[in-house]
Structure 1
Amino acid sequence: MKNRKTFLMALLSILYFCIIVQGLNTFSNEQDDKDNKNIVPLLSASNSVAIEWNRTWGGSEREYGSGVAVDSLNNVYLAGITTRGPAGSYDMVLVKYNSSGVQQWNRTWGGSKEDSGRRVTVDSSDNVYLAGNTYSFGAGSLDMVLVKFDSSGVQQWNRTWGGSEWDVGNGVAVDSSDSVYLAGFTYSFGAGYEDLVLVKFGVEKREKEQAISGYDLLLFTCVIGVITAISLHKKYSK
């Protein structure tokens, strides 16, 4: 009798445990379903994204893409790192494609040491800013670097920022006035061991070109001619 009672108690305990677990499982599944009602599969048949083209750029060694930007004409700029640059083991690289994926040009930048391109952006005139890091130039072991190209790939200038320690550039942006902001972190400056840093580069001040119009040149020539004629007349009238 005692064994039978023990058996029934054990059976009831097992049934009770199964009911509780099943209830928790049902609640969990229902909760998951409710939480995921608005999730749309990324590659669902009804919401597929067509790949129009893809391009690779590189050689027999390593190349890394790390940034992309689009200008006002839908040209695409790819920023990254190449190990086959002419200057050093690792160089910054910038590749321009048109909207159809046809390469327009590519540029590398760097020195004898490692230099890496991280991000790229464009301004209102479609000038291109390549941001990254350089061991080859600057004040310290690793400095932030910003290189400006025009839309034809001609370098306009380059700037480095940093101190005696590591200073790393990871982001770049342009505002409505075409001022450029370089973001990253610094070991050289700040209150702590490693601090955020934001560097602003202002709009370049261009000197106004002094040009002489055709009318002004003609007037100037006429005045000189009249003065010369008067001088000659006085000379030979004596």
Structure 2
Amino acid sequence: MARNDNSLGTTNSLGNLTNRQLARSGQVGRSDTQDFFRFQLTGRSSLTVSLGRLRANADLALLNNRGRQLQRSNKSGTSSEQIQTTLAAGTYYLRVFRRSGDTPYSLQASATATPTPTPAPAPVPTPAPVPTPAPTPAPTPAPTPAPSTSANPRQAWIRQIPTDNPERATAANNHAEAIAIDRFGNTFISGNSNSTVGGGSRAGFDDAWFAKYDAAGNQQWLRKIATSSNDYIKGLVTDSAGNLYLTGATAGSGQFNRASAFIAKYDSSGNQLWIDYLRGSGNIGNDIAIDSSGNLYITGRTSGSIGGANAGSLDAWVAKYNSNGERQWTGQLGTSGYDEAFSVAVDSQGNAYIAGETPGALAGSSAGGDDAWLAKYSTAGSLLWVKQFGSASPIDRANAIVIDRADNVYVGGNTGGSAGSIWPENKPWISKFTADGAQIWTTQFGSFVTDLADLAIDQADDLYVSGRTQDAFGSATVGGSWNAYFAKFNSQGSNLWGELLATRWEDRAYAIAVDSVNQIHVMGITGGSLGATNPRSPVWDVWVAKYLP
């Protein structure tokens, strides 16, 4: 699934701004949608921030130290944005984010110390008679917490790429994308790299790769999709025979003949059996799912028309294929802005659910900024309903979907704000819905320095999440600026346990899967050494691990 790594955890520091004036320049666009700047005020200050020299529409927002939006300037077109306010001492953030097109910008900020107003003296009250104290009640004992239904998992193995093969290692970054498991205990992972993972020479800017590991963690093979430009494998899924299906995008010439989004089938030995393209610039396949009959469902974004007329700049889409690679139907939905679907899941009746992010009103109204959304399509491809939910924050997003045995739908994502009973706090969230789209519950965990990247579900309908955090999970020691985590929740949304993977550098867990015996398979990236020595730290390596229940 697509990710934007510019977040509150990767800000540009402006330092102390009190009685100072400074300027910064940058650019936001399709490939880098937002920039964050952190600053401090040593006392009560009058703040002025302006955003100018725009060639396309970009907005400016002021956030508090928990990432909650305090003020926003959102003028149309290329008009300059400005925020003026008075703030108390503390840490704050500025967010510059794209609304349309690609544009450079100039950011200017200044703060002037302002004396704190002296309140008028309050009248001295007449003392009231001292009442006779009531008897002190006995303290109520704290309730005994319910025992956990599951102990923390045990690591079976962990592997790191490319340092499993030191002779192939290069001083370049690798990126994790997706994970899948088959019924034989094998693990499949995918990523992209600007190094020479898998041997040979690099064909383009980023080459996509996917690999198979057996149940003991031994790599069986590694294959690449390599053209003259950028290539990505965003989603993986397996069938009952151990065949592998993948989706992603490529923009180059060569092996994949200038395709855009694609879906492909490979046998268990890594041989390609068929491929289909969804051509057009701006088309990306972000996720893939399979039903009990072997039909496949993929979802993503398009700047053109895959399943209908384009409503704006980018639309979300979903497509169904049979097991022979023949397209059955496509659907498309969007607003005038940048709409994208990041995840797809299918229920026992063959209905498809997709979820993502929109700046508009897919379901009739918007809470402000970018909202998360969930949509349901029938087995014949008819749009049945769309639910939209969010806060006034510009960064609400649904990243992942899973479905339980009763066809209830679980959606997970992140929010930069709060929305009352939906998301009371600025934290990652998981929401449970009925098949009709009625919300059953929502739970949040961690803090604003925790992100949710993926969801998985086991045979007992317990949930597993993965991501990155600066919070503490379980008994692991917090390492670098960001640590990889994964955690388990029951079907009522209660957290059962959490695990960290931490080095002195940045670590992230992107994708997670659970097999039929509740073994957990998780993958991510690390700047350090998790599964092997990384001599190039803090260059990112991909890692994959297996845990026993």
User: Aligning the two structures, in what range does the TM-score lie when normalised by the shorter sequence?
Assistant: 0.5 to 0.7
Residue 160 (structure 1) shift: 1.7
Q: CA deviation at 1:63?
A: 1.1
Q: Return the TM-score normalized by structure 1.
A: 0.63
Q: Counterpart of 2:186?
A: 75
What amino acid does structure 1 have at the position aligned with 2:192?
I
After the TM superposition, which residues 138-217 of structure 1 pair with which residues of structure 2 at under 5 Å, given as runs?
143-163=260-280, 165-189=281-305, 190-193=309-312, 194-204=314-324
Q: Given that residues 193 and 208 in structure 2 are in contact (C-alpha distance below 8 angstroms), is that contact kept between their aligned partners in structure 1?
A: yes
What is the count of residue pairs matched by the alignment?
174
Within 5 Å, which residues of 2 pair with 1:85-96?
A: 85=196, 86-96=202-212
Larger CA Rg, structure 1 vs 2: 1
Where 1:151 maps in the other structure, the secondary structure is coil
Query: What is the CA–CA distance in structure 2 between the aligned matches of 1:151 and 1:124, rounded to whole Å?
Result: 11
User: In 1, Cα distance between the equivalents of 2:219 and 2:257?
Assistant: 35
Q: Contact 1:79 / 1:117 at 8 angstroms: preserved in 2?
A: yes
Q: Which runs of 5+ in 1 are unaligned?
A: 1-5, 13-29, 41-45, 206-238
> 1:47 corresponds to which residue?
151
Displacement of 1:168 in angstroms is 1.6
**Quick one: which amino acid aligns to residue 291 of structure 2?**
D
C-alpha offsets along residues 68-105 of structure 1, whole Å, 9 cap, x if unaligned? 11111010001111223542221111110011111111
> Corresponding residue for 1:99?
215
Q: Check 1:96–1:71 CA distance in 2 against 1; reply closer, same or farther (3 A cut).
A: same
Contact 1:88 1:114 in 2 (8 A): yes
Question: Post-superposition, which runs of at least 4 consecutive aligned residues in structure 1 deviate over 6 A?
Answer: 37-40
Taking the aligned partners of 1:64 and 1:172, their CA distance within structure 2 comes to 19
Cα pair distance change 1:101/1:192, threshold 3 Å: same
Matched residue of 2:205: which SS? coil
Whichever structure has more strand as a proportion of its residues is 2
- 2:173 corresponds to: 62
Secondary structure class of the residue paired with 1:146: strand
Q: Would the aligned equivalents of 2:262 and 2:276 in 1 still touch at CA under 8 Å?
A: yes
- How far did residue 130 of structure 1 move? 1.9
Task: Report the CA distance shift for 1:127/1:192 in structure 2 as closer, same or farther (over 3 A).
Answer: same
Is the Cα–Cα contact under 8 Å of residues 87 and 112 in structure 1 kept in the other structure? yes
SS for the counterpart of 2:264 is strand
* Cα distance in 2 for residues equivalent to 1:131 and 1:74: 22
Is the contact between residue 53 and residue 101 of structure 1 (CA under 8 Å) also seen in structure 2? yes
Alignment-mate amino acid for residue 131 of structure 1:
T
1:52 and 1:93 mapped to 2: Cα distance? 24
How far apart are the structure 2 equivalents of 1:38 and 1:134? 50
Q: Is the 8 A contact 2:304 2:310 kept in 1?
A: no
**CA pair 203-47 structure 1, distance change in 2 beyond 3 A:** closer
Give the CA deviation at 1:167: 1.3
1:49 positional shift: 1.8
Separation in structure 1 between the aligned mates of residue 288 and residue 228 of structure 2, nearest angstrom: 24
- Structure 1 match to 2:509: none
More helix per residue: 1 or 2? 1
Partners of 1:171 and 1:104 in 2: CA distance: 24
- Distance (Å, rounded) in 2 between the aligned partners of 1:174 and 1:68: 14
Q: Flag structure 2 segments of 5+ consecutive residues without an equivalent.
A: 1-122, 129-139, 163-168, 197-201, 326-549
Q: Relative contact order (alpha carbons < 8 A, sep ≥ 6): 1 or 2 greater?
A: 2
**Offset, 1:57:** 1.1
Instruction: Report the residue type matching 1:202 in the other structure.
Output: N
Please tell me the root mean square deviation across aligned C-alpha atoms, in Å.
3.2
Q: Give, in whole Å, the separation in 1 of the partners of 2:156 and 2:215.
A: 10
Partner of 1:25: none
Residue in 2 that maps onto 1:209 = none
CA deviations on 1:135-160 (whole Å, 9 max, x unpaired) are: 115898x8212232110111223222
